[in-house]
């Protein structure tokens, strides 16, 4: 490779003395010479690389081409084919045609629908008793989620649809749009109650919030007054149903306590009747008083016997056995012991021979059993009466009612059908369906 010739330079003091035009021309000339040298070097390098590649190709064996394999012809220029026209025609029919037909129906045939909105909730008012007020202020009202769920199902039920239809003639109200003109959004009379209930689910929307217990109602009709009348009747029927549930709950709360009280009353009557029969049969008011008398008599006889025995012991120490006083004391002792045996026999204590007379003891035992039954019946009656009073008080304190926080409104402008939203959805889904069908068609074509 040839060495690059050094640039020819002019002494700096000489260049400084040259005029401006000459200095400029000199610099241009030097730049051209430098570019020429660089181009010469590039050409030389290119020749060297070409020589190396030729040597390498000569060293490799020759490439054999298999001419038996067919060579694909070159790709021809794309052009419109019948399937492309079919796809375009299907787009026009499925997408553009559907959207144009839907727009014509929505703006020319679909009847305006007015909406009446209402909002209410089930409230439970609990009036605190005087005892509760002494401890603090109790909660006055609340709501139960079960009541909202029941009301939500009731508004969508066939029973309510039948009641509203009998009061307002729903078939006539919802057929005002003329089914011949608007067959999609209008009701087709007369229809069965199942058809009316199905159309009711389209025209009456219920929204329930379980976290707050609020229920929102949205009623559609073809006139503002009809929508408000339907909403008002739904509210009245719902309030009547909630009152019915409140009555049922009140009755359920007191029925069990009332049954327990009746059972306790019958038990107390039977216990008192048995005790009265026992007294009439044995001519006793209470064996306890007789027992007390008998016990006192035994105590007195035992004291007299003890005194007699003491007298006998004293007479035995101071007199002979033939002394009349001794015989009299012995006779007194025998009489007292005989009386003691008889009185003990009455009480069922027994005699000295080991033979017991259990007549009075059985009498006392039977009386105590009847007394226990009566006391238990009285306690059961007292507890049942207290429970019944508490149940009645609780049922009176808890009152459920339907509270409306938004009264049924009277619409001034029709908000349904929402034409622009409907058109957007129709355009979206028609395009998606058309695209899916085209992809299915091309996939089937490629599989053949």
**Residue 137's pLDDT is what?**
37
CB-CB contact of 350 with 344 (8 Å):
yes
What's the CATH architecture for 110-253+398-416? 2-Layer Sandwich (3.30)
pLDDT in tens, 88-102: 898 998 899 999 999
**Residue 6's pLDDT is what?**
46
Beta bridge partners of 216: 119, 207
- SS3 for 384-412 is HHHHHHHHHHHHHHEEEEEEEEECCCCCC
**Residue 315's pLDDT is what?**
74
**Prediction pTM value:** 0.56
pLDDT in tens, 233-243: 999 999 888 88
Q: Buried b / exposed e across 296-312, counting CB within 10 Å, b at 16+?
A: eebeebeebbeebeebb
**Residue 96's pLDDT is what?**
92
Q: Is 117 helix (H, G, I), strand (E, B) or coil?
A: strand
CB-CB contact of 416 with 115 (8 Å):
yes
The pair phi, psi for residue 242, each rounded to 5°, is -65, -40
Look up residue 211 and give its two tokens: 């976290």
Q: Low-confidence residues of the chain, pLDDT below 50? A: 1-12, 128-145, 351-357
């Amino acid at each position: 490779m040839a060495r690059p010739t050094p640039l020819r330079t002019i002494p700096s003091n000489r260049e400084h003395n040259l005029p401006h035009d000459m200095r400029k021309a000199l610099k241009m000339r030097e730049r051209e010479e430098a570019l020429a040298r660089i181009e010469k070097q590039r050409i030389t390098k290119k020749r060297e690389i070409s020589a190396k590649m030729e040597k390498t190709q000569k060293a490799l064996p020759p490439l054999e081409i298999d001419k038996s394999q067919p060579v694909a012809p070159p790709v021809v220029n794309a052009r419109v084919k019948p399937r492309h026209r079919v796809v375009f025609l299907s787009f026009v029919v499925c997408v553009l045609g559907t959207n144009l037909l839907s727009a014509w129906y929505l703006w020319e045939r679909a009847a305006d629908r007015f909406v009446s909105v209402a909002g209410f909730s089930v409230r439970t008012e609990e009036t605190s008793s005087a005892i509760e007020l002494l401890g603090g202020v109790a909660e006055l009202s609340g709501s139960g989620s079960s009541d909202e769920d029941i009301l939500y199902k009731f508004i969508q039920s066939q029973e309510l649809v039948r009641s509203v239809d009998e009061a307002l003639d729903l078939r006539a109200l919802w057929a005002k749009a003329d089914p011949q003109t608007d067959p999609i959004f209008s009701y087709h009379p007369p229809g069965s109650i199942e058809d009316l209930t199905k159309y009711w689910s389209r025209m009456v929307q219920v929204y329930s919030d379980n976290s707050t217990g609020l229920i929102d109602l949205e009623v559609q009709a073809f006139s503002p007054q009809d929508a408000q009348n339907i909403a008002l009747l739904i509210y009245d029927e719902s309030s009547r149903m909630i009152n019915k549930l409140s009555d049922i709950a009140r009755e359920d709360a007191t029925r069990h306590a009332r049954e327990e009280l009746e059972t306790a009353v019958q038990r107390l009557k039977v216990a008192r009747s048995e005790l009265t029969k026992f007294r009439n049969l044995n001519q006793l008011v209470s064996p306890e008083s007789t027992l007390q008398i008998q016990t006192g008599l035994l105590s007195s006889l035992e004291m007299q016997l003890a005194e007699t025995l003491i007298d006998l012991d004293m007479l035995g120490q101071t007199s002979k056995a033939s002394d009349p006083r001794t015989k009299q004391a012995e006779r007194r002792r025998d009489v007292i012991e005989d009386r003691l045996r008889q009185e003990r026999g009455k009480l069922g204590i027994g005699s000295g021979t080991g033979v017991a007379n259990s007549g009075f003891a059985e009498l006392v035992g039977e009386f105590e059993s009847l007394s226990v039954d009566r006391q238990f019946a009285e306690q059961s009656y007292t507890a049942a009466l207290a429970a019944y009073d508490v149940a009645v008080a609780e049922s009176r304190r808890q009152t459920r009612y339907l509270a409306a926080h938004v009264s049924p409104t009277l619409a001034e402008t029709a908000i349904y059908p929402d034409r622009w939203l409907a058109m957007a959805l129709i355009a979206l889904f028609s395009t998606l369906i058309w695209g899916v069908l085209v992809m299915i068609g091309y996939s089937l074509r490629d599989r053949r």
